[in-house]
Amino acid sequence: MLTRKFCLAALLSCTFAWGADLNLPNDEFQTEARALTRQQIPQLAALASAGDARAQCVLGIAYANGFALPPDPAEAAQWLRHAADQHLGRAANDLGYLYQHGEGVPQSDTEAVKWYQRAAEVNNPKGETNLGFMYSKGLGVKQDFAQALKWYRRAAAQGFPAAQFNLASFYRDGKGVRQDYVEEANLLRPLAEDGYEVAQRELAILYQNGLGVSRNKKEALRWYRSAAEQGDAAAQETLGYQYFTGGLGQKDLDEAAQWTRAAAQQGVAQAESNLGYLYELGAGVPRDPQQAANWYKSAAAQGNVIAEVSLAQLYYFGEGVPRDYEQALKWYRQAAEQGNGSAAKNLGYIYANGRGARLDYEEAYNWFRRAMVAGDKASKHELAKLRHIMTSRQVQEAEFRWSAQHSSLPPSAPANPPHEALQPEASERP
């Protein structure tokens, strides 16, 4: 019998943005540029043309961000270069950013490092942070964690939030230092208390897992919620999961649906898959297989393997979508190729019984074998049953085919890995 297996899993991977001010300080140059009016531009341009470094920097920032005039990265680079040549650290840093991202100038990590270095040499904290980032990732320079630490520490000592956050990640991961969750927590807590959502989420993870702090579900829930309320998609997805499972002490399906939807609307694939699951169950939302299918489709289009399996099952049974065996096979196969054992096992069932595809014992044999490699325990029993109805020659040919293919199979992934192992990890950003 074809099995139906669902999993409301944690976030597998996520790209998230810094908070509004975490890496873009609202310094005097930024403030002045943001407050510009079109009427002030001619006077500012005249000062910049006369060699005033401050005016050159502000004008460059205005062109880069579209403050009071149309965005023009090339003009921004020109004015920032003039100011940077006069040893203005903010200008040198912003010019480095343009080179790193190829905006208005040819993309060049080497040039980016050059200008970040010049900004760092005059104690610009953002330049120091970005230079640390380049050393951390080996962009434009040889990867060097010691140098990255040096520059992060210098910027952190000036109270620069992005440097403090990146330094915390070094202690978390043991990059260039002994892994130290206590120090990570000490660095994150002031940032979290100041309202930086990525720090709030990372601190929640520490409280949830008892890393560097005493395990405290209430504190974990509080910090996840603080981050989620500020729009942090990873925190929203995790918060939805925790309310669904009650893993942090409070089970609330309405809250689960609310936060899962918030993350899904930001395009987080696992949240989309989870929201589909909630609609399929009718948990926290009215049961609606069609809505479930829509959210599974969105997540599956991003390569989410759980959504692929769930969507295949809806197509196979005709729930929320017209029954379509071809689509079911497509999504089962795509999930199985990613190492999902449940999908491989279901393909085995389909080919072994000829329901949804041609009857093909050798093909079924192959998929049961792949499911076993992926960790699906039930497939061993199903394979044994299949052997009993195959001829000796069919078994030999199936084994030969399997042996020929096995060396090229992708690494297996557990069908339903535990949530704790899938916590979203913070990443550094320049």
H or E element at residue 294:
helix 289-300
Give residue 187's pLDDT: 96
Is the Cβ–Cβ distance between 305 and 338 less than 8 Å?
A: yes
Give residue 398's pLDDT: 82
Report which of 26, 110, 44 is spatially closest to residue 83, judged by C-alpha positions. Answer: 44
Report which of 331, 327, 251, 307 is spatially closest to residue 283, judged by C-alpha positions. Answer: 251
- pTM, full prediction: 0.82
AA letter at 382: E
Place of tokens 């930001």: 266
> What backbone torsions phi and psi does residue 174 show, to the nearest 5 degrees?
70, 40
Residue 125 burial class via C-beta count within 10 angstroms: exposed 0-12, middle 13-18, buried 19 and up: buried
**Low-confidence residues in the chain, pLDDT < 70:** 1-26, 406-430
Give residue 205's pLDDT: 96
What are the chain's domains? 21-157 (1.25.40.10), 180-265 (1.25.40.10), 267-338 (1.25.40.10), 341-419 (no CATH)
Distance from C-alpha of 43 to C-alpha of 257, rounded to nearest angstrom: 54
| Token pair in block for residue 228 | 């989620």
Distance from C-alpha of 90 to C-alpha of 123, rounded to nearest angstrom: 10
Give residue 21's pLDDT: 36
Place of tokens 């080179």: 99
